[in-house]
């Protein structure tokens, strides 16, 4: 089971990238931040709302040198069909990974074996392939892409500022904390 601080597994899967089928693995994105958006299935209720929101904010992820990858247990053919039937899904600019065997989902502990689908999970991976944040929701609760972006910005900030701590609801430009090693980890404002 992967956790924050673990290096991500490097499993190759098929993906729909710019309407073409390609083989991808996470090491292809080494040197960039990666936001993995696991979702249960194509042609569902909540999933398109999340993928469309991530698509609408994609340029913001790119400005942060981050790639978004969506992952489901559907096939590439299902992704293609979904894109053809829903014009907004058809505009998704990021790779849509296909994991019909569930091996990618299993490696990230997001696979529901009884249903053959993924939990609604988000992983933020740093340029070295290390997981910096993860979130798992019930499949009946959609995620907040604004919060995913906020967490990504915080992860980038603390990577660029060793020893910095981002308090609750931190946004760029706000004050951070710094642990005072001599005072039983009582934080100081910085």
CATH code for the domain in which residue 74 is found: 3.40.30.10
Q: Minimal CA–CA distance to 71: which of 28, 102, 43?
A: 102
- Residue 175 domain-assigned? no
Is 63 within a domain?
yes
123: in domain: yes
Q: Let me know if residue 177 belongs to a domain.
A: no
Higher pLDDT, 49 or 190: 49
Residue 79 lies in a domain: yes
> What pLDDT is attached to residue 179?
78
- 52 within domain boundaries: yes
Pairing mode, strands 66-72 and 96-98: parallel
pLDDT at 180: 72
Cβ(50)–Cβ(143) below 8 Å: yes
| 50 and 142 Cβ atoms separated by less than 8 Å | yes
Instruction: Inform me whether the pLDDT recorded for 117 exceeds 70.
Output: yes
In a domain, 129, yes or no: yes
Annotated catalytic residues are 47
pLDDT in tens, 134-188: 999 999 999 999 999 999 999 999 999 999 999 999 999 999 999 776 544 555 5
pLDDT (tens digit per residue) in 62-105? 999 999 999 999 999 999 999 999 999 999 999 999 999 999 99
Task: Give the angle 122-139-117 at the CA atoms, nearest 5°.
Answer: 85
Does residue 146 form part of some domain? yes
Reported in sequence order, the residue ranges of 64-130 that DSSP labels E, i.e. its strands, are: 66-72, 96-98, 111-112, 117-118, 120-125
Cβ atoms within 10 Å of 134's Cβ, excluding its own? 19
What are 36's two structure tokens?
């993995």
| 131 strand-pairing partners | 125
pLDDT given at position 13: 97
pLDDT at 102: 97
Here the tokens at position 45 are 């209720």
Average pLDDT over residues 109-136: 97
Name the residue range of residue 72's domain: 13-162
Kindly state the average pLDDT of the residues 46-63.
97
pLDDT, position 32 = 98
- The mean pLDDT value for 40-64 works out to 97
Structure tokens at 173: 């430009």
Alpha-carbon span 170 to 4, nearest angstrom:
19
* Tally of domains within the chain: 1
- Dist CA 139 CA 159 (whole Å): 31
| pLDDT given for residue 157 in this prediction | 97
Predicted confidence at residue 131, as pLDDT, reads 98
């Amino acid at each position: 089971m992967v956790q924050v601080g673990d290096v991500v597994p490097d499993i190759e899967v098929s993906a729909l990238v710019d309407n073409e089928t390609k083989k991808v693995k996470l090491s292809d994105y080494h040197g960039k931040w990666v936001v993995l958006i696991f979702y249960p299935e194509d042609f569902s209720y909540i999933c398109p709302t999340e993928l469309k929101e991530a698509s609408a904010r994609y340029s913001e992820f790119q400005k942060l040198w981050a790639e978004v990858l969506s992952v489901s247990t559907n096939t590439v053919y299902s992704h293609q069909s979904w894109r053809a039937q829903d014009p907004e899904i058809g505009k998704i600019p990021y790779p849509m990974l296909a994991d019909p065997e569930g091996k990618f989902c299993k490696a990230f502990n997001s696979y529901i074996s009884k249903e053959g689908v993924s939990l609604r999970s988000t992983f933020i991976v740093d340029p070295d392939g290390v997981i910096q944040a993860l979130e798992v929701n019930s499949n009946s609760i959609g995620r907040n892409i604004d919060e995913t972006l906020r967490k990504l910005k915080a992860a980038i900030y603390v990577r660029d500022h060793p020893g910095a701590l981002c308090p609750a609801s931190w946004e760029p430009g706000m004050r951070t904390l710094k642990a005072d090693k001599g005072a039983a980890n009582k934080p100081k404002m910085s």
